[in-house]
Amino acid sequence: MTTPDDPDLELEAAPLVRAYVITNGRSLPADDEFSLITLVTAAQDMPPTGQLDPEKRRLLDLCSGGYLAVAEIAGHTELPVGVVKLLLSDLTQAGYLYTRAPVPPAKLVDRRILEEVLHGLQARFG
C-alpha cells in the first residue's frame, strides 16, 4: 500500500502529469492528420519562435534538419506519440512545420516482366 508521501507514487505520476501539462489537458481531435509515418519538416519561412513552449522549440529543432517521421520524433523526445502528434498539429497550424504523406509502397511488378528481364540478362551476359 502506498501513502501520498511515497516517493514511488510520485515517480509513477510524473510522466502522466507532464504529458497533461504539455498538452494543456487536450486530446487529439477526431480528424487527426498524423500517422506514425507522416513526414514532418520545419518551414523555411517560419514565424518567430519567441512565444513557443520549450517542448515545441525542441520539436522545431529536430525537424529543422530535414524530414522526420512522427515515430522518430517521439523516439528522440521520449514523449508519448499522442503528445507529439498534438504538438505537431499545433505547430503545423501555426505555420512552423510542413507535413508530407509518406512515400507510398511500390506497386507490385508483374512477375512475367521480371522473368523476361532475367532471361534477357542471362542471354546477354550468360
Q: What is the pLDDT of residues 20-45, one digit of tens each?
A: 667 666 776 666 778 899 999 999 88
Whether the Cβ atoms of residue 40 and residue 99 lie closer than 8 Å to each other:
yes
The H or E element that residue 124 is part of is helix 111-125
Rounded to the nearest 10°, the torsion over CA 12, 16, 17, 20 is 180
Residue ranges of domains in the chain: 7-125
- Written as nine digits, the cell of 68 is 522526420
Which among 15, 34, 30 has a CA at the least distance from the CA of 84?
A: 34
Q: What is the pLDDT of residues 85-124, one digit of tens each?
A: 999 988 998 899 999 887 777 777 788 998 999 999 999 9
